Structure 1
Amino acid sequence: MIRILTLLTALLAVAPLAAQKPLYLVNGSPRDEIASIPPDDIECIEELPADEETIARFGPEATNGVILITLRYDSNARFGIDSLTLGSYIAAQVKWGDDEPPARVALRYKITHDGETQVTEVLEATDGRLKRRVLKAIAEAPRWQPALKAGRPVESEGVVTVRLPEGKPMPGEPYLRIR
């Protein structure tokens, strides 16, 4: 995993240079950028040189090389409430008054093969009350449509951050981290 993160970091450092931009293929499909791909979703990365064989195989777009990225699944998990993200859904479910102090909770979660959301790690919680309310809202949230690999449901992971009340700035660093 460290090797993948190192390679991904190196690739992203070069990405803004349009003249040197390689052809990115993610699960076989071309992509303009790869910065939005969570590193944990990457199964493997293969870098192909800008040689005659690569250009013959992938066409003139491969004149700066090709980066083949294989994800752990073919399609992402989708949260089933209209077009809401998990974070916006949870923030709407949690009761947190404007008179309460600004607080933030960040959680790592996984979506099981049957669409259940399971919190795997509390990354940050600046207020224990908000943490409890967010965990309860996640436990009561509707199921997801799980990620798919070769047409079969597979587990996937994500990170959600909830900051309430919305629009109210957080106090300066350091944050109180309650786990």
Structure 2
Amino acid sequence: MTAQKDFIDVIQEHQQVINQLAGFKPLISQASKLIISTLISGHKILLCGNGGSAADCQHFAAELVIRYHKNRRAYPAIALTTDTSILTAHPNDFSFDSLFSRQVEALGSEGDCLIAFSTSGNSENIIQASVTAKQKNMSIIGLMGGDGGRLKALVDMPIVIPSTTTARVQEAHMLIYHWWCEMVDEVPND
């Protein structure tokens, strides 16, 4: 097998996953409306994920706070994956499993929205964050892969990418949240 063939295989696998997203349009659109209504009502978006999904949280939060394409007002979005003191103190003093739930407890309020990224849907720290968000009457959007894992049953809007390949799942997640950013960009600047 040549490197070129391997790359073509990856492109085809990527395209196969991306092509399936059209079937998720109603749910992805509904999630977009939830994000927009959360933001324009003065509430905030909290985001959590591990590894590459943590980077997606930071990427998405930056697009909401700064801008995507259009100059518009800043929206409150907090990636719970960025504060190194919290990210090291909490697991040291308590447990990695409750790392994000502790932050949701401190920063989340009724009317806010948690966006939980988990390529497997089984990351314990993401599950615990979702449980805490539910207790605080926050909305929860789940971006997952595979069968959605245990997280699927805990979120209000489960978006489950039909792949178990982490990279393909994360590529689909990025396409989805970039589209959400485009929708946020269309909100009138009041």
TM-score, with length taken from structure 1: 0.31
Larger Rg: 1
Give the structure with the larger helix fraction: 2
Give the structure with the larger strand fraction: 1
